[in-house]
Structure 1
Amino acid sequence: MTWPDGIIGRRTVMKRVLMKLEGVVEAPVDQVAGLLLDVRPGGRSPLALGDGAEEIACDESRLTIRGRHHGDILTLVADRSHHLLTIRSGWWYHAEITMSRHEADTLVTLCLYNAASRPLRWLARLAARKLLATRDEQFMAQMAELGRRLGCSGYSIR
């Protein structure tokens, strides 16, 4: 993926998959995407950044937000036309959350990548250990929360 100018510079992120999780929300994809991609400051998404987040760029289909979460600076790019939320933090963390049709429901896929440069890739695995150990539980809770906010069921399938 190439980041837009002014976000993280103009560079291509080389990514290696660290983890892939999938869940289902029993609602149409447009409803799930409408909620999950509403990451603007004060937005409805459970992933919206709190106070101090700022809108960096916005057009008809894409919104870029930067803010702090647990001391880390995060950049979120919500791409409504592709039902995609990209999260980038620090020197190694890159996550992509996609939403797609799954029968009458929505399949939510989280891919967590090691985006560290080649000499630091091994170190990113060490930095990610705690996150990877708790990510399954967090993802299950996020699927349930999405379902609750939409008045339906949400669950992990992995």
Structure 2
Amino acid sequence: MPKPARKPAVGPSLQSLLSEASRRATADLERVLGPEGVPVEFWRVLEVLADESGRPMSALAEALSMKLPSLSKLIDRMVASALVQRAPDPLDQRRVLVYISDLGLARVRQLQGTVRRQRSSLESSLGRDEGRELKRLLEAFIREQRS
């Protein structure tokens, strides 16, 4: 006869909770961006580049918490979709900057209200104060881990 499942002796780890929260938040964002044909990874890049300042790949990788090889492949796909473009850095011809294209900027403008509503809903699901506190704690955690 099978033994009944037991509760684990220790609760879930912080790492497990952070991973699960990230998966759920990303899935919710995919739910709103998917019908628009914009992968979440594309959105994250477009959002960083939306100020229309070119970024070196290293700075973009840091802003997105991505490894350079993965980011390079992602940018290749986005260039092929005409959402971003690469150009030589005018101050250092050896370096390449990534810029948002007119099409990419149009997509940001088209979707930013939808994304804003999704984020607001996500943050308010905990309650206003708890959502702010969670955000503050996560920002502090990330700062501490980077130093």
Q: TM-score, normalised by structure 1?
A: 0.27
Q: Which has the higher contact order (CA 8 A, sep 6+)?
A: 1
More helix by share: 2
More strand by share: 1
